Chains A and B, each alone.
Chain A
Amino acid sequence: MAYSNKVLDHYNNPRNVGSMDKSDPNVGTGMVGAPECGDVMKLQVKVNPETGVIEDAKFKTFGCGSAIASSSLATEWLRGKTVDEALEIKNTDIVNELSLPPVKIHCSVLAEDAIKAAINDYKTKSATKVEALASK
């Protein structure tokens, strides 16, 4: 199957590969996987607690070219968005941008799941932080 040029570009030059400190209260981590294809995807966001804007996003994906491209693209899109804007990213946006064929749509779903998981992790963390402050 032929990959689109955009997929190849992200695959050959993945953006924002890496990881951030999981224990940092401003970092949200999402780890998702698709057992059928053996993919695992870790996506992290670093949020400015004052503004709610995502200042940095990193990912590391073990999987096919489309899974890598989907998560690479996701980190590009996440930077500069607020956490609420980030939750509006849909897998179909990724499908369209990368021209993913039907058999690879699940890769974009995985990326959307990873975004949601990372944001939810951040939100859970900051909620407990607020509670901790309030109980002081």
Chain B
Amino acid sequence: MSANRTCWQCAQSIGASLFCPHCKSLQPPPSGYYTLFGLDRKLNLNTNELQQRFYDLSRQLHPDRFMRKSEAERQYSLDASSILNDAYRALKDPVKRAQYVLSQEGFEIGEQRSKDVPPELLEEVFELNMALEEMRSGDDSARPQLESAQNNFTNTLNEVDRQLEAQFRTYDESSNREVLTRIRGTLNRRKYIQNLLDEVQDQLAVGAQ
């Protein structure tokens, strides 16, 4: 990716380093969130380690440290700090991290057509919505039902997250695109379940007032 980068200042080879190993000048930030963090592109990340690296890099790249440096370095430190924040936000969250890797691999995330969604999932979500609507149209007596729906959705969401973690491991070991397709399917299901859970919780909050 960035194997052939050379220092803008002294023209020596720098690999993926943020600072030139020879003249120590700050380099233009590499494209790619994982490269910026100096991490292998794995879906399962140690978030403590990620956080530590984020703090270290934030310090190293902080614009205050470049006040007396060249115009170019001042600009690179601004650019790099801004990308670093985006990168940390995307990588620390498993769902956003998976979306990032999917988009890097050419999967469309935002504008999926329904043909990408398995019919069983639509069937399931439709039935769950129907059940939820029935509960809502009732009065306060629907509360126990809503609470049990809340439990069910929370459990399903936890189940989906475990499934996602397992799929992350499989992808990290195999780099198989087929697994990414499955991961996208799991993310879709997660999104639907999350929406349903939000709705139940809204409903319970209204009832509690």
Residues of A whose CB lies within 8 Å of any CB of B are: 31-36, 38, 40, 42, 60, 62, 106, 109-110, 113-114, 117
Contacts and interface: CB of A to CB of B under 8 A. Distances in A.
B117 A33 contact: yes
B129 interface: yes
Contacts of B187: 35
Nearest to A36: B110
A31 B126 contact: yes
A113 B114 contact: yes
Contacts of B188: 35
B106 interface: no
A107 B172 CA distance: 36
A40 B126 CA distance: 6
A35 B129 contact: no
Chain B interface size, as a band, is: 20 to 34
A35 B119 contact: no
Given A33-B121, A36-B109, A60-B126, 10 more contacts: A33-B117, A33-B125, A33-B192, A36-B110, A36-B191, A38-B192, A62-B129, A113-B114, A113-B115, A114-B114
Contact of B114 (A34, A38, A60, A62): A34
A31 B122 contact: yes
A42 B122 CA distance: 9
Contacts of B123: 31
Interface in B63-114: 109-114
B126 A42 contact: yes
B122 A33 contact: yes
Contacts of B125: 33, 40, 62
Which 4 A-B pairs have CB atoms at the shortest separation, nearest pair first?
A38-B195, A32-B114, A35-B188, A62-B129
Contacts of B115: 113
A33 B195 contact: no
